Structure 1
């Protein structure tokens, strides 16, 4: 098994990467931090940072790498490694921005003010943009910087690894230390990074659900309620890991079980992510619902709810 680690800057990714180097050895890790970065592997530079890169040939030429890692968006490698083998970490957005600013000042001779830094469009919603419209629910593993120990615990269990905890490249003494903001900066940061804040809140809810299942020795399902309207409910679901059996999904409306369906329909839009079962992981239920009905799905075998909170029905446009 080979992993793709999407290293979002200032999310404890360097600590994780160095832990992975200790476990796998640096020789088994491929690095892509850009054409001018010293850390980028020579083979990556000569294969991918060229006018017409052949990603398929690049993947075929690699000799059983344990992991590919870099400051890259998920779309760069997810279709070669598969979404189930993709991992990343997220961090509370405002803390991440402050940490990145400190990193720029300390290591890149940045002379601008903090406000100039976070006002730059390139620095806004950095975490959300890295996912390129890939649903969080599909990704093999998403850890949280603020819950790093628990993240490693689950990740090591999921991928049968023993990557140890460490703290590297930290601007502050400890991961749990927090930056403080002036009220003016706080208001502006929240406005400029609304999408990152929403992403982190949802990722935290998913993390809580997954950790609860993990501690209960229950298997985790990658599951998403894609659409819920007055006329139908649809989504997709599959087991994490190597389990290939289809999932049975319960539909709950206003707190009551109304129907069940198997997740066996083809979802073409997922194929670029290399989901299991050849993409036959979808479900669709035609039914009559009313606006403001609350809908939630549950994995019948384990009781895992998705989404983490009920969703209000959207009125179908005519």
Structure 2
């Protein structure tokens, strides 16, 4: 059986889901890819992606896919879309989305807190690499074909549905959540700036609307 594929969109409570996965699956059955030398990145992925010379991205994806199958990995998670892996099964995939403006603001605060940017919010949102992050992370996956999509605003209900869909026992924890002080000190964009952020992230707005619509359909069907 293919792993469960978590298509982890940055700043959408994915850390909480990863934390739950470690309580449900044995360590050796979890495979994560989160950047060079990250403590969460699987050793095989770290060596292959960042230290092995002369291996193109296509071959890297094939080798990771083979590893997942051969080692009967149960849970895969990464900001790099699992949809690019040859073994990807949309019927065993799930993802969580967030209102684009709130996702951008959270992403900005995260980057600022970790010293990855010294830009103002106005400067940060103009960088193309900081736009439509949810769309880029979701990659080539088909929103209508993956097994479960949810929205952060319905996080507890999403975790409950995830558990029912795949027979899991994930907890509705909130890891990496910002403190009240952090939220109060965070950026407070004007309505005009919020509208501008939405225009800059048109692909994410469309993706989020589609995800919210599908979630509503699932919620009505379960009612």
TM-score category (smaller protein): 0.7 to 0.9
- Deviation of 1:19 after TM superposition, in Å, equals 0.9
From 116, 119, 122, the equivalent of 1:112 is 119
Partner of 1:230: none
Partner of 1:64: 72
Q: Are the aligned partners of 1:143 and 1:151 in contact in 2 as well (CA < 8 Å)?
A: yes
Partner of 1:277: none
| Alpha carbons of structure 1 residues 55 and 100: separation in structure 2 relative to 1, 3 Å | closer
Comparing 180-189 with 161-170, greater Cα deviation is found at 180-189
1:82 aligns with 2:83: no
Distance 1:74 1:55 in 2: 9
Q: Are the aligned partners of 1:89 and 1:143 in contact in 2 as well (CA < 8 Å)?
A: yes
TM-score, normalised relative to structure 2: 0.85
Partner of 2:33: 32
- Deviation of 1:17 after TM superposition, in Å, equals 0.6
Partner of 1:10: 11
Partner of 1:130: 137
Cα deviations by residue, 1:161-181 (Å, 9 ceiling, x for unpaired)? 1111100112244xxx99742
Q: What is the number of equivalent residue pairs in this alignment? A: 213
| Structure showing greater relative contact order (alpha-carbon pairs closer than 8 Å, 6 or more residues apart) | 2
Q: Are the aligned partners of 2:121 and 2:187 in contact in 1 as well (CA < 8 Å)?
A: no
| Alpha carbons of structure 1 residues 23 and 179: separation in structure 2 relative to 1, 3 Å | farther
Distance 1:57 1:135 in 2: 23
Residue pairs, 1:134-173, within 5 angstroms = 134-173=141-180
Distance 1:179 1:156 in 2: 35
Higher strand share: 1
Structure 2 residue runs of 5 or longer lacking an equivalent are none
Comparing 57-66 with 137-146, greater Cα deviation is found at 57-66
Partner of 1:257: none
TM-score, normalised relative to structure 1: 0.61
Cα deviations by residue, 1:108-139 (Å, 9 ceiling, x for unpaired)? 35211011111110111111223334331111
Q: Are the aligned partners of 2:31 and 2:77 in contact in 1 as well (CA < 8 Å)?
A: yes
Distance 1:133 1:28 in 2: 25
Higher helix share: 2
- Deviation of 1:202 after TM superposition, in Å, equals 1.6
Distance 1:42 1:22 in 2: 20
| Alpha carbons of structure 1 residues 82 and 111: separation in structure 2 relative to 1, 3 Å | same
Q: Which has the larger radius of gyration?
A: 1
| Alpha carbons of structure 1 residues 191 and 54: separation in structure 2 relative to 1, 3 Å | closer
SS at match of 1:137: coil
Partner of 1:211: 219
Structure 1 residue runs of 5 or longer lacking an equivalent are 216-318
